Structure 1
Amino acid sequence: MKKPLAAILLFTLCSSAVMAKSAFTDAADSVQYRQSAFQLIRHNMVDIGDMVKGEVNYDAARVAKRATALATLTTLPWEAFTVPGAEQGGGDAKAAIWQNLQDFTSRGEKLAADAQLLKTAADSGDQAEIRKAFGSFARNCKACHDDYKN
């Protein structure tokens, strides 16, 4: 009796997962998701930036932890811009994102690649390499804000 019930439950769960088209319930949910991801990116970026600029004591372990987080976090927000109606969901995103979505998503991919380079530099512990990688990461981030964020 337990095997048929388990099979039915497994089928139901798998069917639901296959039928789900998006992790987001609606456009507003996608906005909340991407804003949360960007907030976490900002937090980790600012912490590294403060250490690179000498505004707080440099802590190699903390830089490595933040860079590792950025390597993951920078892969997250982009799918939330492709949800149907996402451009109507609100937030600080300019309409230019959806008018040039390919450029925008390629910049997101570049940011994620820059974050990986920053993680590699942080793992090496070489402060000069960290500073260089962080500079590239920060410039890419700012350039996208200049074009795509209100």
Structure 2
Amino acid sequence: MKKQLITALFISIVSTSASAGSAFSDAKDSVTYRQASFQLIRHNMADIADMLKGEVSYDAERVTKRATALATLTSLPWEAFTVPGAEQGGGDAKAAIWQNLDDFNSRGAKLVSDAATLKAAADAGDQAEIRKAFGNFARNCKACHEQYKE
């Protein structure tokens, strides 16, 4: 499953650079892209969470690697919600997204900002700041899920 999502994300990224128009062939393609993006966000987020909870050994280099990935990955899924017909493409996004697109997009922008703050904390290597930045990132992520995910 993870390989399929990563492959789908890679194909979507490649098709973005290959075409002058939309990165997506249709609404279903946009759903595949956003799901792959969120899956990669989840993976990187979970690894940091496991280290902060002490479930695995803390590795500052790995935290920085994951935070750097999150700073990039969090910018990816949002355009896939603006594709014509995206609300009909399937997935577990609630209709409330398209009814409140400005709020949804502002939450996406905040997630990108939170990821940048997390990356800066990881680059500095201060575990207390990493913990604080990660907490803000995770709370924002959860609040959006509560509002906009089935």
User: Shared fold by TM > 0.5?
Assistant: yes
Q: Percent identity?
A: 78
Aligned residue in 2 for 1:58: 58
Counterpart of 1:75 in 2: which secondary structure? coil
Counterpart of 1:93 in 2: which secondary structure? coil
Aligned residue in 2 for 1:134: 134
Q: Quick check: 1:33 aligned with 2:33?
A: yes
Aligned residue in 2 for 1:6: none
Amino acid at match of 2:62: R
Distance 1:17 1:131 in 2: 40
Gaps of 5+ in 2: 1-17
Counterpart of 1:136 in 2: which secondary structure? helix
Q: What TM-score does the superposition give when structure 2 sets the normalisation length?
A: 0.87
Counterpart of 1:131 in 2: which secondary structure? helix
Aligned residue in 1 for 2:48: 48
Distance 2:74 2:120 in 1: 15
Aligned residue in 1 for 2:91: 91
Amino acid at match of 1:71: A
Aligned residue in 1 for 2:101: 101
Aligned residue in 2 for 1:7: none
Amino acid at match of 2:25: T
Distance 2:135 2:19 in 1: 41
Report the CA distance shift for 1:139/1:88 in structure 2 as closer, same or farther (over 3 A): same
Aligned residue in 2 for 1:113: 113
Gaps of 5+ in 1: 1-15
By how many angstroms is 1:86 displaced?
0.1
By how many angstroms is 1:17 displaced?
4.6
